Structure formats: structure tokens, C-alpha cells
Amino acid sequence: MDRSPVPLRQFVLKVHSRCDLACDHCYVYEHADTSWRGRPRAVPDEVLVRTADRIAEHAAAHGTAAVHVVLHGGEPLLAGPARLRRAAEELHRALDGVCALDLRIHTNGVLLDERFLDLFAEFGVKVGISLDGDRAANDRHRRFADGRSSHPHVLRAVGLLRRPRYRHLFAGLLCTVDVRNDPAAVHDALAELDPPRVDYLLPHATWEQPPPRPGGGTPYADWLLAVLDRWHGQGRPFPVRVFDSVERTLRGGSSLTESLGLEPSDLVVVETDGTLEQADSLKTAFDGAPATGLDVFSHTFDEASRHPGMLARTQGLDGLAAECRACPVVRSCGGGLYAHRYRAGSGFANPSVYCGDLMQLITGIRDRLAAAPVPPPPQPGPPVLPEAHLDELAAGFGGAEAVRSLARAQLGIVRELLAAVRQRSADLSADRSAPAAAAWELLTALDSDAPDALDAVLAHPYTRAWAVRCLEGAAGADAGGLAEVAAAAALRAGRDEPVRVPVRGGAVRLPTLGRVLVGGDGGEAVVSGGPDGFTVAVGGAVLRIGRDDPPGDRWHPVRRLAAPGWTVALEDTDPYRDGHQWPVAGRLPDGEAEAWRAGLAEAWELIGRELPRYAPGLSAGLSTVTPLEAPAGQDVSAAARQAFGAVGIARPGRADVLALLLVHEFQHVKLGAVLDLADLHDPEDTRLHYAPWREDPRPLEGLLQGTYAHIAVADFWRVRRHTARGAAAAEAEVHFARWRRHTAEAVEVLAGSGSLTPLGMRFAEGMRATVAPWLEEPVAPEAVRGARLAAQRHREAWQARAAAGS
Ligand code: SF4
């Protein structure tokens, strides 16, 4: 079954057609295709201008959120700084207001110097360097024409990129495998350079010119698996694309590289004369193999995407040879790189010439995953987020178990905070430290006798909020909170020890249970459990609160909604609930509480029906909704970094809006908890970054938070446009077109920031993999136009502010 053409998103722009090295494995000069001989050396202006305009035209027509352009060669630095500046300027000019631009250059590094790097910093050009390993490995192929080694030049280039000033431009190392090299020595030599990523590439070969196999067997798989084991042994210090891709596809995800998997190719090459070619790797097959007969002057990229050769690389499973279609690892392998399938006579309808190696590599990775030791039961120590859970969360969702991992880790954090509060209180005078010491003693006893009761109070979102404020020395938060936690946990455990608790604002706080109004301010009350409820003794008076007493003038219990599959507290009593950016609502009258109950029940039902991928995580981790006050006519909501499990919302009039606010804010809750466990970005990066939905630039973490939250927003509108009726459906269509674009664009800004850690890049790739297919979903042209206009307005406003220096 033939597929439709896919919009092109990856553009390889040849800026120079010659090279200053004479690598004998180069597919441009050393393989079958000789088309380079007749092309201009440096790309002329008219090709740059036309290419940039064509890319913009194509991206605009398809509502593409981001395009990736790689400046390539030959050796692209031979084009010189002026030519490269022109290329970057033209691309930015044409794509400004159309879509995000991820601009890269792949170079051998020989000529790289500060002039180039300052230029790349100006235009955000990321640099990938080709390096085949240690000196012996690199010198095997990567030499000058006169035989000199290029190795010292490449190390110097990498050294420049590792300087703090340029580090954000370093995209990674590309290493072509030669099985005669020692895999450990090659890998260690690359690892020593602390790259943000490594790509191991199989040397180009076909059935006509098979790769060297000294000793026979599957040497390429053996070599890569040796590297894999070494990389694992080192703790996977940076992403390695081939391994990450196979692991990901084995788990059902999409491939990360054109050389593996079933994803359609969306890549085209523009030569220095403006002719359009298919993937460069095809040069290895036969003379003229990549040619399309098209060029940027006479043809659009739409026409290029319909070229039979391009279409052939978009057919997925249907485009593979029968052996591949029946192969058990085809979803991870995809028949390997298209060019490697070539055989005279049958063309590309063959398995890869690396078939045996690919099979061995993929099954080797699969077996290692299966044999990975079952994680031991949680031990005291820094909490760790399992990789599978990280990947689930990175995709924007996260099932119940992944969110429970976050919740367990939060419990550990809260316990540490409580211990720090206790430690701090021990330094106080004896009379002031005594209540905390008594509370700590009770907490310790509860931890051993009634851990569930204690955990229920420690898991309360505002226990952490109090502890953090206490440690910061904030007014109104002191070590008395230990007694409040102990009293609430003791009551939950059915114990009757009296606990001395502070009176704050005329009330006794019992986190997770509610508050008792006792009047006055300051001083202490004594809370004691009993068989039917509890008592609060203060100033000679004793208040009795029955277990089943309804809310009254003195007793403000926390109300709970129990919907099928979800129980949530409506928190309007805890004084530490005020960290949600907007003012909190006071104690809700019964009628308002009922309206909340009805709204939450309806919103939960909608989430289960229309957003089922979010429901399990929400059910496992969203314990508390805190009502906020909103300016008239505004929908407001917020999460709070120090309050895992809570979202603050001003009750909107519609259940669908409430559902949207719940899933949106819970994204912030999840990501905040991930950031407690994993370094996703460089905290030293204080730059502000473009956020497609805001006129003011954002710090990196703010951009990350916004992007993650907007995955849920885009998904909400994506579904809603089919389930809403009439004008609401049309409105949802516009929202979807806008938010998918903003979110995809923001993912690229993050990925291109240069400040994500390897784990952060993995997280961004997870987000990208979720959002990218949404960009393919058909949307009404007027909605796409509306989204484009909105994006353009945002970018213009942002640029105006940037120009004004605000
Ligand atoms: S391992 Fe071989 S048969 Fe299987 S998909 Fe890959 S190339 Fe085809």
C-alpha cells in the first residue's frame, strides 16, 4: 500500500562541495557517485536565498513547527565565515515567524576556530564533529591527502567547543565504526571528551560492495555490543543514539535515527548548485543514485517529497523486502539504512547488507534489557527515578506506577526535611526545643508502629511546604509544625497520647484532617485522641470533636470527593496552602463545596473518557485541589513546586475547563517531582529563552515547565475538537493548531538550548516523540492560518521586546 508523501523537516544544505581531508571511507568522494565533480565549490547566494524561501514555503504549507537544517559538505567550513553567515542569515530571515529553526553544522573540525564559533553562537548553530576514536583509530581513515593525521586538529576543535563560552554549541561526536579498532579504546577516547551525544555509524556499504568482515561472523554487532557494555559500565554518561534508539523501539517507541526503525524519512539534500537529492548515503549505491532531477529554482519541496525515490523511503513495513517484513526485530531494525540494502538487479528490495549484524545487535540489546537485575527494594538514600518511569513521564503522561515512584521519592524528601527541622530546633533553648523533641519522639514511635498513618500526613502536599518555609525562616512557619504532623498522624493511627500543638490564627492545624477554631492567637493547645473522636484542650476549655461530627462553627474538616477511581481532598483549611501564585479562597460555604464536588466529578469523568492516558497518573498522584480566588471572568490555576500532589484552581463555570486546568497543572506537579530527582538542565545557564506562548523570554526551567504542561493542553484540544459540538469544536480546532505548534516549537528551543543534560535531552526527545505525530494530524486550513498568525504575532512581540532591551 503506497503512502502519501510526508512533509520534509530535515534539510541537508551543502555549502561546500570539496573537502580538506581525504578520508577513504567518505561516501561523497570515495564511493560510486561522482556528481560532486560538476558542482560549484561554494554554495552561491541565489541557491541560499531560494533554498531558504522554499523551506519556509514548505513549512508554512504544512504547519510545521520546526525544521532541522544541517550545513554540510564536503567540508562546510571551507565555505568560510562570510558564506556561512549568509546561509544562517537567509535561513533565519525566511523562517522567522514561520517555524522554529534547528540549525546545525557537521564538520571534520580541522578549520574550526573562534571566528566560526562566534558566528555560530550568534546564530545558534550547533556543531557536530566527526571523530573516529583515539589517534590510531582516527588515523586509519581520517587523514589529509598527504597522509598527515587530522587527529590533533580535531581534538583542538573539540577543546574549543568544550570551553564554557561555546559548550552550548557542542552537538556531539560522529564516529564511523571500523571493526579493526579496539571498541573500548575508541569509546573511552570519545567519552574522555565529555560529549553531549555520540553517534556510532556503520560504514557505508551495499551488497555490491560489502563491508570488510575480517574473521567473518557479525563483527559490527560484536563491536557495538562491546561498546554498549562499556557504556553501561560507565553509567551511560551521555546518550548514544544507536543504543537509545534500539532500546526505545524495543519498548514500543519511535526510532531516533534514519538508519534504524520504520519511521518514514523526511530528509532531503540541497547540493551547492541547488539540485535536490535524496539521502546522501545513497551515493554509496551507484553513480547518480541520489539524483531526483529536481532543483530549488524550478521545484518545490512538495514536489521533491512526491519523487518516487523519496516516497520509497516513506513506506514503512510495506516498503521492505519479504525477509524483513517477516523478521522478528523489524520494528527496531526497519531493514537498516536504505542505502545499505542496494544490490544490482533487485535495487533496494533487500535486507541490509548488515542484516546479520543488526539482528545480533538488536537481540543482544533486548537480551541485556531482559536480564537487567530487578531493582532491589527501596533503601534509605537518595531517591532514584527508574528509567522506564522517566521515559513514560517524558512522553508527557506517566502511568500510576511512574507517578507512585515520584510520590515515594517525595516522601523521602519530606522525611529529610522534617529531620532538618528537628535538627534546627535542637539548637533552640531548652524550653523552646522541648515541644519539638516530644513531637519527634512521637513521630519516631509512629514511624515504627503506624507507618501508614504517618506517611499519609507526610504525603500531604503542604507538609513539605511548611517544612521548607520553616527551614527558610519564613514568618509563621516554625518547628511547631512537627507537633501538628505528629498530632494528625497519631489521630489517624487511633492513638491517645496528648500532643501539644501551636495555636495559629485562632486555630489548631491538623494536616490532612482539618482545623479546629479555638480563638485567640499564639500559645498552645493539647490534642488527644479518643475512641469516638478527639479533644482539643486550650485555656481551661475542652472542645470535643466526634468522629462523625459534621462541619460546624468550630470544626472545619477537610472535605473529600470520592469519584470512581479517584479520591481528592478539597483543601481550604491549611495555612500553608497559599503558595499557588494566586490568593487562596477561604473556608468554602457548603453550597460552594457542593458545586466543587459536582464539578470535580464531572471533570474526572471527562478526563477518564477523553484523556485516558492522563487519568491513571492523576488518580495516583493528585491528592488535593485547593480553591483559589480569581479576578472576575478569569480562569486561574497554579501548581506549587513545594507542594507535590496539589493543584490550586479557581472553580471555573464549566467542567471541561476544570478538566483542562487539572491535567495542565498536574503536568507541573509531575515535572517538579522529576526535577527533584533528575538534573535535566544546567542550573548555571541563566539565559532567557524564547517561549512561543509568551512575550517575555523565560529561564530554561520555566520554558521546560511550560512545554511539558502544554503537551496536556494540546492533547486536550486535540481530542476536544472531535468531541465538542458546533462553534466549540471549531474553537477547539484553532486551539489545537496553536498549541501543538507552540509546544513542538518549544521542544526544539529546549533541545537546541545547549543546556539540557543528557537526561534532559532524553526527556526532550520523549516530549518530541509525543508531539511530532500531532503535527501530522489534519487540521482545517483556517485553523492552521490562525495558529500561524498567532505564532507570528508572538514572535514579533518577542523580537520587539528583545530589540528594546526589555
Ligand atoms: S535484521 Fe535483517 S531481516 Fe531483520 S529487518 Fe533487519 S535487515 Fe531485515
> What distance in angstroms lies between residue 316's CA and the mean position of ligand 1's atoms?
13
Q: Cell 522554529: give the residue.
A: 100
Separation in Å, CA 159 to CA 114, 155, 524, 555:
11, 6, 64, 67
Q: Could you give the 3-state DSSP secondary structure of residue 545?
A: strand
- Amino acid 35: pLDDT: 61
- Amino acid 33: pLDDT: 56
**Are the C-beta atoms of residues 13 and 86 closer than 8 Å to each other?**
no
pLDDT band at residue 384 under the 50/70/90 scheme: low
- Amino acid 1: pLDDT: 43
Query: Is it the case that residue 553 has pLDDT exceeding 50?
Result: yes
Half-sphere exposure in the Cβ direction for 791 (13 Å, CA): 31
> What distance in angstroms lies between residue 23's CA and the mean position of ligand 1's atoms?
29
Pocket test for ligand 1, best of 242, 323, 325, 362 (most atoms within 8 A of CB): 323
Q: Could you give the 3-state DSSP secondary structure of residue 537?
A: strand
Residues 26 and 36: their CA atoms lie apart, in Å, by 13
261 in ligand 1 pocket by Cβ < 6 Å? no
Question: 183 φ, ψ to 5°?
Answer: -60, -40
**Are the C-beta atoms of residues 18 and 39 closer than 8 Å to each other?**
no
* Torsion angle of the four alpha carbons 277, 290, 266, 16, in this order, in degrees rounded to the nearest 10: -50
pLDDT band at residue 275 under the 50/70/90 scheme: very high
Q: Cell 471572568: give the residue.
A: 633
Instruction: Determine which residue's CA is closest to atom 6 belonging to ligand 1.
Output: 335
Percentage of residues of the chain with pLDDT beyond 70 = 94
352 in ligand 1 pocket by Cβ < 6 Å? yes
**Are the C-beta atoms of residues 712 and 667 closer than 8 Å to each other?**
yes
Query: Is it the case that residue 393 has pLDDT exceeding 70?
Result: yes
- Amino acid 330: pLDDT: 92
* Torsion angle of the four alpha carbons 406, 411, 415, 416, in this order, in degrees rounded to the nearest 10: 0
pLDDT band at residue 257 under the 50/70/90 scheme: confident
State the angle between helix axes of 700-723 and 758-775 in degrees (0 to 180), rounded to the nearest 10.
Answer: 20
Pairing of strands 624-627, 198-201: unpaired
221 in ligand 1 pocket by Cβ < 6 Å? no
Burial class (CB in 10 A: 0-12, 13-18, 19+), 722: exposed
Residues 55 and 53: their CA atoms lie apart, in Å, by 5
Is the bond preceding 523 in cis, omega lying within 30 degrees of 0?
no
Separation in Å, CA 615 to CA 1, 203, 403, 603, 663:
36, 46, 11, 11, 9
Atom of ligand 1 nearest to the CA of 334: 5
Q: Could you give the 3-state DSSP secondary structure of residue 416?
A: helix
262 in ligand 1 pocket by Cβ < 6 Å? no
What does the pLDDT average to over 50-68?
88
Cα–Cα nearest to 612, from 712, 762, 482: 712
Burial class (CB in 10 A: 0-12, 13-18, 19+), 569: buried
Separation in Å, CA 202 to CA 26, 48, 354, 612:
12, 31, 9, 41
Residues 741 and 66: their CA atoms lie apart, in Å, by 8
Give the H/E segment covering residue 754.
none
Instruction: Supply angle C-alpha 739, 789, 304, rounded to 5.
Output: 85
584 in ligand 1 pocket by Cβ < 6 Å? no
Helix ranges restricted to H, 399-545: 400-426, 430-449, 451-458, 461-472, 480-493
Query: Is it the case that residue 32 has pLDDT exceeding 60?
Result: no
pLDDT band at residue 378 under the 50/70/90 scheme: very low
Q: Which three cell numbers stand for residue 96?
A: 522567522
Question: 456 φ, ψ to 5°?
Answer: -60, -35
330 in ligand 1 pocket by Cβ < 6 Å? yes
627 in ligand 1 pocket by Cβ < 6 Å? no
285-296 pLDDT, tens digit per residue, is: 787 788 889 999
> What distance in angstroms lies between residue 333's CA and the mean position of ligand 1's atoms?
6
- Amino acid 365: pLDDT: 92
Pairing of strands 566-570, 624-627: parallel
Atom of ligand 1 nearest to the CA of 358: 1
> What distance in angstroms lies between residue 351's CA and the mean position of ligand 1's atoms?
5
Instruction: Determine which residue's CA is closest to atom 8 belonging to ligand 1.
Output: 324
- Amino acid 26: pLDDT: 60
**Are the C-beta atoms of residues 289 and 343 closer than 8 Å to each other?**
no
424-446 pLDDT, tens digit per residue, is: 887 666 666 777 888 888 998 89
Residues 213 and 196: their CA atoms lie apart, in Å, by 31
| Mean pLDDT score of the chain | 88
Burial class (CB in 10 A: 0-12, 13-18, 19+), 530: middle
Give 756's contacts (C-beta < 8 A, 6+ positions apart): 680, 681, 682, 750, 763, 764
361 in ligand 1 pocket by Cβ < 6 Å? no
Computed over its alpha carbons, how large is the radius of gyration of the chain?
A: 30
641-663 pLDDT, tens digit per residue, is: 999 999 999 999 999 999 999 99
355 in ligand 1 pocket by Cβ < 6 Å? yes
- Amino acid 606: pLDDT: 94
pLDDT band at residue 551 under the 50/70/90 scheme: confident
Residues 531 and 274: their CA atoms lie apart, in Å, by 86
202 in ligand 1 pocket by Cβ < 6 Å? no
190-208 pLDDT, tens digit per residue, is: 999 988 889 999 999 999 9
Pairing of strands 688-689, 698-699: antiparallel
Cα–Cα nearest to 793, from 733, 718, 741: 741
- Amino acid 117: pLDDT: 94
759 in ligand 1 pocket by Cβ < 6 Å? no
Q: Could you give the 3-state DSSP secondary structure of residue 662?
A: helix
Pocket test for ligand 1, best of 207, 315, 318, 324 (most atoms within 8 A of CB): 324
Separation in Å, CA 406 to CA 385, 387, 766:
7, 12, 18
User: At 775, which amino acid appears?
Assistant: L
* The three-state (H, E, C) secondary structure of 103-135, written as one string: EEEEECCCCCCHHHHHHHHHHCCEEEEECCCCH
